[in-house]
Amino acid sequence: MRVKERAQKLAAGVVGPERREEIERVALRFAVALTDEMAALIDPSDPADPIAAQFLPSAREFDLAPEERQDPLGEERFSPCPGLVHRHRDRVLLKPILLCPVYCRFCFRREVVGKKGAMLSAGDLERAFAYIRDHREIWEVIVTGGDPFLLSPRRIGQIVETLDGLAHLEVIRFHTRVPVADPARVDARLLRALRAQKALFVVIHVNHPRELTEGANEAAKRFLRAGIPLLSQSVLLRGVNDDPVVLEALLRRLVAMRIKPYYLHHADLAPGTAHFRTGIEKGRRLVRALRGDLSGLCQPTYVLDIPGGYGKVPIGPCAIEREGKDWVVEDACGERHPYPADRGGDEE
Ligand SMILES: *Cc1c(COP(=O)(O)O)cnc(C)c1O
């Protein structure tokens, strides 16, 4: 489908004609896509709809901030061969496909997804497997994209089977938006493709409680019945989920669906995404507010990916600091309490 047709299809029924031209213009610069499942969630009468904000292009994407980067996480620098990123000793990212069912407008890989050459060639996939085979320190392979669940079950099955056969590897992890964006893809064939001897985890990207539809719930149940544990990751986004009520609803619903919240990401410095970033101060305030009121099961780790490829670091509010020889700890209400230094270990 040509870009213009794709943009028109995307806009049909979810925005008025006055925004069509804007959407077409952005679609020429960045990939766009929307599934029926997500389109159905959009309230066309709400200009601030949190689902529309995530998937419908906006002219604000042309506003580039000086701190933004083509490759915010510096993945290129740590790529030993196409489709592979080896930043941390014990784990690699494998990106077999750079297509997605819904191109989030804040995607940190927006400069590389949805373009020509989005499928890793058979030769490059072989080279990636050879690299993993040769590096016995690799304990875990994180299959991501794009969205790896856009591959056919046959190809997913080949990847899982190959990885499952590598003796030094212990964990296979998939990162995906499919269970939310297109839950019907989570069918018996996909589940069969994911059968492995090794531990296999699925991490679902979801940002707003409304994305957790009955369809997503059914998809989650199918993974769980197949013995696949589920985790979630969310991006903190201005106007979407930078609100304690929305975050609480999202995190509680996830746990009720037996999905353990894993990461809350601070939005990355991807081109044209400044309107999504909340500021770290606000992020920490939100995380602190959640700490006191929500079960520990609902608490994700708030992380920032340091630009340039220096990895993820937790940036949640720091509850403890040194005061003289001893410590002071702050509780969830902001009240401070003394904690004694350990005579054996704390003194330098
Ligand atoms: C996020 C990321 C990982 C996975 O990190 P975890 O903390 O294990 O989830 C691995 N490699 C790279 C390059 C990453 O950006």
State which amino acid sits at residue 22: E
Confidence at residue 250, expressed as pLDDT on a 0 to 100 scale: 98
CA of 45 to the centre of ligand 1 (A): 38
Average pLDDT, the chain: 95
Which of 225, 218, 227, 220 minimizes the C-alpha distance to 203? 220
Q: What percent of the chain has pLDDT over 90?
A: 89
For residue 332, the model assigns a pLDDT of 85
Rounded to the nearest angstrom, the distance between the alpha carbon of 48 and the centre of ligand 1 is 32
Atom of ligand 1 nearest to the CA of 78: 13
Each residue's pLDDT tens digit, 155-166: 999 999 999 999
308 CA from centroid of ligand 1 (Å): 14
d(CA 28, CA 25): 5
- Render pLDDT for 320-345 as a digit per residue (tens, 0 to 9): 999 999 999 998 888 999 999 988 88
Q: What is the pTM of this model?
A: 0.96
The residue whose CB lies within 8 Å of the most ligand 1 atoms, and thus the one to mutate among 93, 171, 173, 205, is: 93
315 has pLDDT over 90: yes
Q: Is the pLDDT of residue 236 over 90?
A: yes
Q: CA angle, 83 as apex, 81 and 87 as ends, to 5°?
A: 70
pLDDT for res 1: 64
Residue 274: predicted pLDDT: 98
Compute the average pLDDT of residues 141-165.
98
Quick one: which of 132, 193, 201 has its CA closest to 168? 132
Q: Which of 73, 79, 72, 112 is nearest to 93 (CA)?
A: 79
Q: What pLDDT sits at residue 230?
A: 98
Ligand 1 atom with minimal separation from the 75 CA: 13
Alpha carbon of 120 to ligand 1 centroid (Å): 20
Burial of 60 (0-12, 13-18, 19+ CB in 10 A): middle
Residue with CA at minimum distance from ligand 1 atom 6: 312
- Ligand 1 pocket residue status of 142, Cβ below 6 Å: yes
Is residue 43's pLDDT more than 90?
yes
Is ligand 1 within 6 A of the CB of residue 19? Answer: no
Instruction: Give per-residue pLDDT as tens, 196-221.
Output: 999 999 999 999 999 999 999 999 99
Map tokens 């509850």 to a residue: 319
DSSP label at 201?
A: E
Which H or E run contains 114?
none
- Assess contact for 142 and 175: CB atoms under 8 A: yes
Q: What is the pLDDT of residues 89-107, one digit of tens each?
A: 999 999 999 999 999 999 9
Mean pLDDT over 6-31 rounds to: 88
Give the β-pairing of 326-330 and 301-305. unpaired
CA 144 to ligand 1 centroid distance, Å = 11
Domains and CATH numbers, the chain: 1-62 (no CATH), 66-314 (3.20.20.70), 318-348 (no CATH)
- Judge if the beta carbon of residue 85 lies within 6 A of ligand 1: yes
How do residues 53-84 score in pLDDT, each as one tens digit?
A: 999 999 999 999 999 999 999 999 999 999 99
Beta-carbon contacts of 166 under 8 Å, excluding residues fewer than 6 positions away, are 132, 133
Q: Relative to the CA of 88, which ligand 1 atom is closest?
A: 11
Residue of 88, 260, 264 best suited for mutating to test ligand 1, as the one with most atoms within 8 Å of CB: 88
**For residues 339 and 230, what is the distance between their CA atoms, to the nearest angstrom?**
36
Alpha helices (runs of H) in the chain, residue ranges in sequence order: 3-11, 20-27, 36-39, 50-55, 122-134, 153-164, 178-181, 188-193, 214-225, 244-256, 280-293
> Best of 85, 91, 269 to mutate for ligand 1, by most ligand atoms within 8 A of CB?
91
The pLDDT of 7-35, averaged and rounded, is: 89
Please tell me whether residue 321 adopts helix, strand or coil conformation. Answer: strand
Q: Using 50, 70 and 90 to split pLDDT, how confident is the model at 18? A: confident
Nearest CA to ligand 1 atom 1: 312
Tell me the average pLDDT across 267-286: 97
Model confidence at 187: pLDDT above 90: yes
93 lines ligand 1 (CB under 6 A): yes
**Is the CB–ligand 1 distance for residue 312 below 6 Å?**
yes
